[in-house]
Amino acid sequence: MAVFLIRRILSAVPLLFGISVLVFILMAVAPGDFLDVARSQEDIPAEYIERMEEEFALGEPWHTRYFIWLGNVVRGNLGESWIYRVPVTELLAQRVPATLVLSALSILFALCIAIPMGVLAAIYKDSVFDRISSLFAYAALSIPEFFLALLAVMFAAQTGLFPIGGLSSVEHEFMSFWGRMADYAHHLVLPTIVLGMGSVASYMRIMRANFLDYIRSDFVTTARAKGVPEGRVMFVHVLRNAINPLVSASGFILATLLSGSILVENVMNYPGLGQLIFEALMRQDEFVVVAAVMMGCIMLMLGNLIADLLLAWSDPRIRLEKN
């Protein structure tokens, strides 16, 4: 177990190096540098800019700059954001939890809908429910997230049932603790549904296919022959096995969620990591881009790691040490 963990974490290191180098190169290829914005702002004193130029060696080629940045990172200094005039670490501390909560809720939402639907579709195969749910899966996979987000905003604006965007309302500061939580929840409903919709369909299809696979396997026939009640066969013997592939699919689904969150967060004005990356890239806020992209990749790797650990826990046939 420990060996597996250490190996996985070590193998992530070169990947993260690669990503940071790539982002640096891409930012260097794009014309202009990130101080262009700062220079055009009158309220930033010239000495400050000069100090920054020196500190991050802007005149140097990208590889020199990269190593200086790396040195700063090792000392815990991720640089500063030009848009917000705060250290990048502070910015990430605000944004990452928001996206984490959104992604986790979306996965949870997807699982809660997809498992029952997939199971029912498999048990009542070829029934009306099966047809409708597979039609729904096609639709959910084919609708662009940003279009769904637009529709959700339209729905919110027309009915007034939900806020049109954001993370919290204006009077948030004056609410009690539970009031605040309810406020967050109210704001999270639509983004969660929008972001999770595609995953519902993916999970559901996997669930149905696996359930059908296991229904025909020998151990199910044996259980039935021994006289185990049908409900117990389905929900204990079959379901227990069919759930494992869902866990291993979660890593892939998390990747699509992180991509999708850029679009959904932009449309619904949700202050998360995706919105931050997009805004920073547009305004060449270099340190924010590098740190936020790395953060997204770290989240993805951690998600994959957790999925692997969960799979090992739920499927004892898998021995992590052998991987």
Partner 1 sequence: MVKHLLQEILRRPLGMLCLSVLGLLYACTIFSQFLAPYLPTDQDLEKAYHPPTRIVLKDWRPHVQIYEQVDPAAARYEPVHGETAAISFFAPGREYRLWGLIPAETRLFQVEEPHRIYLLGSDGTGRDVFSRLLYGAQVSLSIGFIGICITMTLGFLLGGVAGYFGGRVDFLAMRLVEFIIAVPSLYLLIALRGALAEHFEPEQMYLVIVIILSLIGWAGAARIIRGMALSLRERPFILASEVMGQSSIKVLFRHFLPNLASYLLVAATLSIPAYILAEAALSFLGLGIQEPGTSWGLMLQQAQELKVFTLNLWWLLTPGAAIFITVITFNVLGDVLRDIVDPRQQMIKR
Query: Quick one: residue 143, left, alpha or beta (phi over 0 = left, psi -120 to 50 = alpha)?
Result: beta
CA angle 16, 21, 24 (to 5 degrees): 125
Q: How far is the CB of 31 from partner 1 (least distance, A)?
A: 5
Is-contact 50 309, C-beta < 8 A? no
Q: How far is the CB of 110 from partner 1 (least distance, A)?
A: 17
Q: How far is the CB of 262 from partner 1 (least distance, A)?
A: 5
- Between 29 and 46, name the residue whose CB sits nearer to partner 1: 29
Separation of first and last alpha carbons in the chain = 11
Binding site for partner 1 (CB under 8 A): 15, 18-19, 22-23, 25-27, 29-31, 138-139, 141-147, 150-151, 153-154, 156-158, 164, 209, 212-213, 255-256, 258-260, 262-263, 266-267, 277-278, 281, 289, 293, 296-297, 300-301
- Between 8 and 180, name the residue whose CB sits nearer to partner 1: 8
Q: How far is the CB of 105 from partner 1 (least distance, A)?
A: 18
- Between 22 and 93, name the residue whose CB sits nearer to partner 1: 22
- Between 137 and 312, name the residue whose CB sits nearer to partner 1: 137
Q: How far is the CB of 50 from partner 1 (least distance, A)?
A: 26
Q: Which residues, at least 6 apart from 210, have a Cβ–Cβ distance to it below 8 Å?
A: 241, 242, 244, 245, 246
Q: How far is the CB of 161 from partner 1 (least distance, A)?
A: 14
- Between 181 and 221, name the residue whose CB sits nearer to partner 1: 221
User: If you write DSSP's letter for every residue of 231-272 in order, what string do you get?
Assistant: HHIIIIIIHHHHTHHHHHHHHHHHHHHHHHHHHHHHHTT--S
Q: How far is the CB of 104 from partner 1 (least distance, A)?
A: 16
- Between 146 and 184, name the residue whose CB sits nearer to partner 1: 146
271 Cα distance to chain centroid: 14
Over the range 13-31, which residues count as b (16 or more CB within 10 Å of their CB) and which as e?
Answer: eeeeeebbeebbeebeeee
CA angle 55, 57, 61 (to 5 degrees): 160
- Between 30 and 108, name the residue whose CB sits nearer to partner 1: 30
CB atoms within 10 A of CB 277: 24
